[in-house]
Each structure stands twice: as structure tokens, then as C-alpha cells.
A and B are shown apart, each in its own frame.
Chain A
Amino acid sequence: MSAGRSGAARTACSLLALASCWTAVPGAFAQAPTAAIRAAFRPDAPAARTAFTFAFTLKDPEAGVPAALRTMVVHLPAGLGFDLGGVASCGLARVQGSGPAGCPARSLVGRGHALLEVHAGSQSIPEEAVLSVLRAPDRGGHPALAIFGQGETPLQQRTISTAMVLADRAPYGAELKVSIPPIPTVVYEPDASILSFSLTIGGPGAHGPGAIRVPRHCPAGGFPFAAQFTFADQSRAAATAHVPCPHRG
């Protein structure tokens, strides 16, 4: 084979390989949903008892409203202290039947809010929900939480998401695995989608059961957080964030 022919053949093979890659990854250029997360410690002094806030927003660049969220895994920095001593637990059946009001006061460990939306007919209809975080009975030896969501209007609806606290790999210390059930609307219309979510667990001061403590050691670059989201249509999104190290002095 001459040099000219072999050069052309190589080019043709490269183009063919590129075309194969293109067709072998269908939807490679379809836009996936996007996520952004935010975390904060107040106060943020090392080892201090703190109010830990975790928040996220979800978007779908094509559809506007992302598909319904099914699972979320939040990776928490190493050394973040979860002390559930003195925190009562509330069974899921009781949470379901009576809401947080039916649970022991000492089982409430956090509060928050969420903004949901449903696409029905030609409309995108928002709904706000108030969140309560309760300690649930441990599962398989792992601490568990129930995240009770109550929406009032236009549909009065309650949902219970369940979360487990598990060990995680460096640079993280623990992961929160959250399962979110379908949030139905009306027949023939999709389940509600979460657009934004914010939860604050714990609080400063020496009073009250349970405590979240800021890690003693802050790595260079700040406390790392990460989250992965899986949606009802099997699409996924991921995000990372860092909380700056506390100022010294």
C-alpha cells in the first residue's frame, strides 16, 4: 500500500471509529437534569454544636420541570458528629397516621421547606411544602430519619421520605441515603417534582436532645459535600460544594 493510500485509509478508519462512538452513545447530547447544592454550619467553630443546613435546587434544561425525584445520596464531611443520644424515635406508621404532632417532641431533629411543581394540562403549578425531620427506628443498626413533608395548596398532600446514615469513604465520613416516594397529583398527570429543598438539622446551644457537631479538623479547601440524585425517568444529576473552613481567631 502506498503512503498516500495508507494515510487516507487511516483517516477513513478514524472517521468510522468516531461515527461508531457517536451512534454507540445514544442521547449523549440530550440534556440531563442539573443540580446545585449548598451547605452551612451555624456556628461553624470546630467541634461546636451547630445548626447544619443542607439545600439543593434541581432543573431540567429541556423540560423546565425535572422528573420526580426518587433517591438522593448526600456525602457528608469526615468528622461531622451525629449525636442522637436522648433523641426519641417515632415509628413510620405513627408519622404517617398523625404527622409530627403524633410523635414524641424529643424525636424532632430538624425542619425545612421545599418547593414542588407539577406540569398538568399546559400549566406548571407550584406547591410549597413544610418539612419536619424525625428520628425513626434504626434500620440494620444504622440511624434512620423520617422526613415528613406537608403541602397545603393546591393539593393537601403529605409524604414521608426515609433516610439512613451510613459510613462513607474518604474524603467523606458519612452518607445520607434518602428514598423519596412518588408524590401523586391527579390521574393522567405526572407526579410532583421537587425544584428546591432546604433542611436544617440540630441547633446551637447545650439544650435539647441530639446534636450535630462541626468536624474538629477542616481539610484544605473546606468541608467537602457531594450529592447524587436519581429521578423517576432514570436520569441522574450530581453536584458538589465546599463549606469554607472557619476563620481562626
Chain B
Amino acid sequence: MVRTRRILTGAAVFCATVLCAGAARAEETVSITEAGFSPNRLGMPTNAFGSATIGSTTGPVPSPIRHVNVYGPAGVTLDLQGTGVCTEALLQQKGTRGCPANSRAGFGGGQGIYQIGKELVEEKYTLDFFLSDNRPGHTKLLIFLSGSSPVLVEIVLTGTVINGPKPYGLGFSVDVPPIKVLPEASNASAKTAFLTLGAHNVAYYRKVHGKRRLLHVRGIVLPKSCPRTGWPVASQFTFEDGSTVMAKRTIGCPRK
């Protein structure tokens, strides 16, 4: 009887161990290494910037990104008067040169990584952000992701400007399809990413009543007040392995 109990207990422990091992999966880590506004002045147009590192607790290659939400602080507004728009078809056919200059929304990039056999290959990538819809409340983005060495990669992603959950405000949401640089490569992952959106001094020439006029684009406008603890910002990454990670940071209030 005792021997049977021991066998059954051993079997139960073995099964529990196997089940736990099967349930244990890679965990990604995301850290916002920098975030800020330049200039950092209440109520003024600004250049919003941020950078992040992405890692894995189980190996050198984090799981590929499938979705990103970036949240700015509450009270940030978008004034896109004077901007133009680009289309996905134009961007696909002609690359960034196909988009009007006044549809540019920002830039970015980082370091990608993928596996070919047992070899890990890192590749630098760049991001070019364009407006595809500049109507208030309907604002949409096109993001041209490109890499050139060792493999040419060019992909167009689409993004939507969203309202984030409290305590956040406006942000944007991007779906990322699987990126296979070569048929034999793993889907590409990102180790680092940075972006820089808007600027305080953007201006374009436009014909107004037959006359060429220089029009200023306000773009991203900072709130008129700042909470004592600073402005909260966050980014939420969803990975191919099903995990979701939210990284948070606070941007200090402008100095008086």
C-alpha cells in the first residue's frame, strides 16, 4: 500500500514537473531607455522622442514584435493644419520619395536580429513615419521600415492615432506583420528601437489665394499644465510568443 502511494506520488510530481516545464515560456523585457520633448515648454509645439531596448529572459533573440501601442501624456494635442498625406500604394511603389514632404511625421530606427540556422544576424533598420489621414480624430500613419545590410528589407506598416487609457492621452497603435528577410531565416525581432516625431519649427510653402505663403505646422502640442510627478508615458509590446509587456516612464515637467 505504502509502495503504491509512493509510486503514485512520484508519478504526480513527474507530471506536475512536465506540465510546468511545458507551460514555462520565454519572457520578453522592455525598457524605455529615454523619453522626452524638445523643446519642453508648456502649451508649445514639440519634438517627441523615445528609445527602448527589448530583450528576452531565455536567450539572445527576443520574440518578434506583433503589435505596439505608444502612449503619450494626457493633454497632448495634435494640430495637423498645413500637413499633407501619403498613400500606402505610393509608398510601396516609390518608397519615401513618393510621399509629399509635408506628409512627413517623424523618423526612427534601431537594431533588428534574426536567426539563419545557428547563426544570429543583426541588421540596422530605419523608420520613416508619414501621415495617411490628417483629419482630427481619424489620424492615421504609414511607417516605412527599411534595412539594407546584410539583406534589403522594405516593409510598409500602418498605424492609428489612439486615445490611451488613463493616465495617458494620445498615442499610436501599430500592427507588425511577420518580417522574414530570407525564406530560411527566423522572423525578425528588434533589440532596440527609437523614434522622433514632430518638430517645433516645421514649415511648408503653400499657395494661399494665389500667393506663396510659408505655413507653420504646430504638430504635437504639449499640455498647458504638468502634474507634480511629471508626464507619464508608456509603450506596450505584444510578441509573437503571445506575451505582452508594458514599459513605463515619466518625463519631467518643464523648468520654470
Contact = CB atoms under 8 A, between A and B. Distances in A.
Interface residues of A, number: 16
Contact of A121 (B97, B108, B199, B202): B108
Contact of A122 (B51, B126, B216): B126
Contacts of A155: 199, 201-203
Interface string B11-54: 00000000000000000000000001010000000010101000
Contact of A153 (B47, B129, B214): B214
Interface in A154-184: 154-157
Interface string B93-109: 00111000110101111
Contact of A157 (B95, B109, B129, B201): B201
Interface of B is mostly: strand
Interface string A28-72: 000000000000000000000000000000000000000000000
A105 interface: no
Contacts of A121: 96, 107-109, 126-129, 144
A186 interface: yes
A96 to B, nearest CB: 15
Interface residues of B, number: 32
Contacts of B38: 186-187
Contact of B203 (A125, A152, A188): A152
B146 interface: yes
Contacts of A188: 49, 51, 107-108, 194-196
Given A121-B96, A121-B128, 4 more contacts: A121-B129, A125-B101, A185-B199, A188-B194
11 contacts: A154-B104, A155-B202, A156-B214, A186-B38, A186-B199, A187-B36, A187-B38, A187-B196, A188-B49, A188-B107, A189-B196
Interface of B: 36, 38, 47, 49, 51, 95-97, 101-102, 104, 106-109, 126-129, 144, 146, 194-196, 199, 201-205, 214, 216
Interface of A: 120-123, 125, 152-157, 185-189
